[in-house]
Amino acid sequence: MRIASWNVNSAKARQDHILNYLSAGSCDVLLIQETKTQDVNFPVEAYQQLGWHVAFHGQKSYNGVAIAARMPLEDVTSGLPGDDEDEQARYMEATVGGVRVATIYLPNGNPAPGPKFDYKLSWMKRLRARAGEMLASEMPVVLGGDFNVIPQDIDCYDPPGWEGDALTRPESRAAFYSLCHDGFTDALRACHPAEVLYSYWDYQAGAWQKDNGVRIDHLLLSPEAANRITGAGVDKGPRGEEKPSDHTPVWVELADPA
DNA sequence: ATGCCCCCGTCCCGGGGA
């Protein structure tokens, strides 16, 4: 089973890109972020016509996540627990093919320091709490999405230029690695320990052409899922298409359960 | 030091993104 994650920067503006990606057999499950549309306007019929299942959790203009899958989606839950006041649509879970998946659009957190950075860190604390519950379930778990964290300097084309940014600050990296210390595996880094891998290139200043990228889209696997990894990588194709998202998909392949 | 570009919306500018 191949699970991919893609921040599409608008489900409607990127509808053809997404459907082409699914039709091409690129994955079995797609974790989608930044749908930027309310649930009432989500183009659900387009997915159903392809024979795919889809669940979505959105809001007007900003944020929004979705999960598309060949197989039925079970036990869908929307929203990250831990703050009833938080109305930003950034998190959803489902069980598909026996794997518990989460689609994550983690807050950017800039400017840092400041209230937006505080929100990012508190959100990551809530994510760690929820992730701990999922670990305890001993299900195979895949946390996939736009984490808005550049884990290491190798994941950034210009580390000095990004110093102090919310995506590279020590507090952000520590919160990301606390998930790893708890037992989650960064699938792309585990499969490619020394390779430069990027998943996002800014629209501006010819970043894509110059390969000025960063790796901020991640797939974190619980031990029960990590034991089944047969490969992981970046699909750079979609970033080079006409009117692309500024992110490109990352994927992990899991062997069938033993 | 700033903007480059792109998305959205009771929409032709401004807020937000990373």
Residue closest to sugar C1' of B9 by CA: A61
Indicate yes or no: strand B within 7 A of the C-beta of A36: yes
Q: Which residues of chain A between 185 and 224 are close to nucleic strand B, CB under 7 A? A: 200, 202-205, 214, 216
Nearest nucleotide (C1') to alpha carbon of A37: B8
Model pLDDT, residue A11: 95
Nearest protein residue, CA measured to C1' of B17:
A108
Res A105: pLDDT = 96
Across the beta sheet with A65-69, the strand order is A53-57, A65-69, A29-33, A2-7, A250-254, A229-234
CA A202, A141, A130, A164 torsion: positive or negative?
Answer: negative
Q: Give whole-number Cα distances, A36 to A14, A22, A63, A103, A188, in Å.
A: 11, 20, 5, 14, 27
Q: What is the pLDDT of residue A258?
A: 79
Which nucleotide lies nearest residue A13, CA to C1'?
Answer: B7
Task: pLDDT tens for chain A, 258 residues: list them.
Answer: 999 999 999 999 999 999 999 999 999 999 999 999 999 999 999 999 999 999 999 999 999 999 999 999 999 999 999 999 999 999 999 999 999 999 999 999 999 999 999 999 999 999 999 999 999 999 999 999 999 999 999 999 999 999 999 999 999 999 999 999 999 999 999 999 999 999 999 999 999 999 999 999 999 999 999 999 999 999 999 999 999 999 999 999 999 997
- From residue A219, give the alpha-carbon distance in Å to each of A33, A38, A44, A47, A101: 13, 26, 25, 23, 10
Q: Which of A224, A215, A221 is nearest to A258 (CA)?
A: A224
What CATH number is given to the structural domain containing A92?
Answer: 3.60.10.10
- Give the structural domain span for A52: 2-254
| Structural contact between residues A72 and A96, judged by C-beta atoms closer than 8 angstroms | yes
Query: Contact at 8 Å (CB) between A253 and A226?
Result: no
**Separation of A238 CA and B4 C1' (Å):** 22
Neighbouring residues of A97: CB distance < 8 A, sequence distance ≥ 6: A1, A28, A29, A69, A71
Nearest-angstrom CA–CA distance, A186 and A151: 10
Write out which nucleotides of chain B lie closer than 7 A to a protein Cβ.
3-10, 15-18
**Predicted pLDDT of residue A19:** 96
pLDDT of residue A58: 95
pTM of the model as a whole = 0.98
Domain count, chain A: 1
